[in-house]
Amino acid sequence: MNLYLVHGNTWFEGYGYEEHVFGVFTSREKAEEAKIVTEKRLQEEKRMIDDPEDVKLDILEVKADERIDEYLGGYVE
């Protein structure tokens, strides 16, 4: 079974990166719907966004019950 992880960066206030997970879905269609709704919500809620196009979430497709080593993102100094 494939699972679809909706995730993305939610830090828009200068340098840095905060990766968040917004849901795990059993169909690509449900994940796409959640991605669109969440991007719109973030665009409305975050006041520090210079350009609403900066809000971009991703969908990662993974197989259930299998080990993976997937980098989701982040920022370190």
Give the per-residue pLDDT at 10. 84
Who's near 17: CB < 8 A, 6+ residues apart?
9, 11, 73, 74, 75
Give the per-residue pLDDT at 59. 97
Give the per-residue pLDDT at 77. 64
Give the per-residue pLDDT at 46. 65
Total-model pTM? 0.84
Give the per-residue pLDDT at 5. 98
Give the per-residue pLDDT at 38. 93
The residue ranges of the chain whose pLDDT is under 50 are: none
Who's near 10: CB < 8 A, 6+ residues apart?
18, 19, 20, 42, 46
